[in-house]
């Protein structure tokens, strides 16, 4: 039986580990040819495991074509190259997943100019420019799906009094960039609606314990309500990347409520 994404070409950023790798594998299980990009091509950083080469090997096990593109998305010059190499290897991009992000949890007084600039470049400008790069082709084919991976930190803190997470752990910069990403999502959905292109944003309800999140150390592992499996993000991504752009667009959704809304149970990353 053909998968929901059979034969489509997807580009997933930040895909050497965590949510990006999970979405890429779930897409491959649904028959998509997938380009994955991140900084870690053959070697990983000293404190985070996972490489694009390892992810690409898992994706190829699903019998699809794969391109692994090492690049630093915080560098504007790298963004056109990523799209060029993805399309040269796999063909025109049908699905763009903007997942790569810089997640700084630091009180705002201690955020340096460099970190603020990187957060804005990676979390807002890079997704915006990648959308600019793939939209013309999607317009010409009159079909496309753009998915921006957001965060619950985009929501306004409720108070006073305010929860300790917002008072002590410094999610303000990360949250403000994700709030900008959400607004970009709904704006682009409106602009691209007449061209058969869906634009949506997806966030987890709770923290997904990716290697990056574990390294930050802001989520207690012994509180189950604060943690959710990565499979929920991957399953919701499949729904959003295969839905009808005429009806499923301009949404900023959260995993559990969205999957309940569409009556979908999550599968393992291999599609089983």
Please say whether the beta carbons of 50 and 44 come within 8 A: yes
Cβ–Cβ under 8 Å, residues 5 and 30: yes
Say which of 40, 74, 104, 174 is annotated catalytic.
174
The answer to whether 104 is a known catalytic residue is no
Tell me, yes or no, if 178 is annotated catalytic: yes
Show the DSSP H helices in the chain as ranges.
Answer: 18-29, 52-60, 78-90, 113-120, 126-141, 164-168, 172-192, 211-216, 230-240, 255-262
Q: Tokens 């399953």 label which residue? A: 235
Residue 148 sits at φ, ψ, to 5 deg, of -105, 125
Expressed in angstroms, the distance from the first to the final Cα of the chain is 13
134, 145 Cβ separation under 8 angstroms:
no
Q: Which of 16, 40, 74, 150 is catalytic?
A: 150
Selecting among 105, 178, 242, 254, the annotated active-site residue is 178
Annotated active-site positions, please? 150, 174, 178
């Amino acid at each position: 039986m053909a998968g929901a994404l059979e034969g489509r070409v997807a580009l997933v950023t930040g895909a050497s580990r965590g949510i990006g790798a999970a979405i890429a594998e779930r897409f491959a299980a649904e028959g998509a040819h997938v380009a994955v990009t991140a900084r870690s091509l053959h070697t990983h950083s000293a404190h985070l495991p996972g490489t694009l080469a390892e992810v690409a090997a898992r994706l190829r096990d699903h019998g699809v074509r794969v391109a692994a593109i090492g690049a630093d998305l915080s560098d504007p010059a790298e963004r056109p190259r990523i799209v060029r190499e993805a399309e040269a290897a796999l063909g025109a991009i049908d699905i763009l997943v903007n997942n790569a992000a810089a997640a700084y949890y630091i009180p705002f007084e201690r955020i340096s100019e460099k970190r603020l600039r990187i957060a804005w470049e990676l979390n807002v400008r890079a997704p915006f420019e990648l959308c600019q790069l793939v939209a013309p082709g999607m317009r010409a084919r009159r079909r496309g799906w753009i998915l921006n991976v957001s965060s619950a930190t985009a929501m306004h803190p409720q108070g006073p009094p305010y929860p300790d997470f917002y008072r002590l752990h410094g999610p303000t910069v990360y949250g403000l960039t994700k709030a900008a990403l959400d607004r970009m999502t709904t704006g682009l959905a409106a602009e691209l609606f007449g061209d058969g292109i869906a634009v949506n944003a997806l966030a987890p309800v709770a923290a997904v314990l990716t290697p990056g999140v574990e390294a930050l150390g802001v989520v207690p592992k012994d509180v189950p309500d604060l943690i959710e499996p990565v499979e929920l993000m991957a399953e919701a991504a499949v729904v959003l990347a295969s839905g009808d752009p005429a009806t499923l667009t301009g949404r900023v959704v959260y995993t559990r409520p969205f999957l309940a809304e569409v009556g979908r149970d999550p599968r393992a990353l291999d599609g089983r």
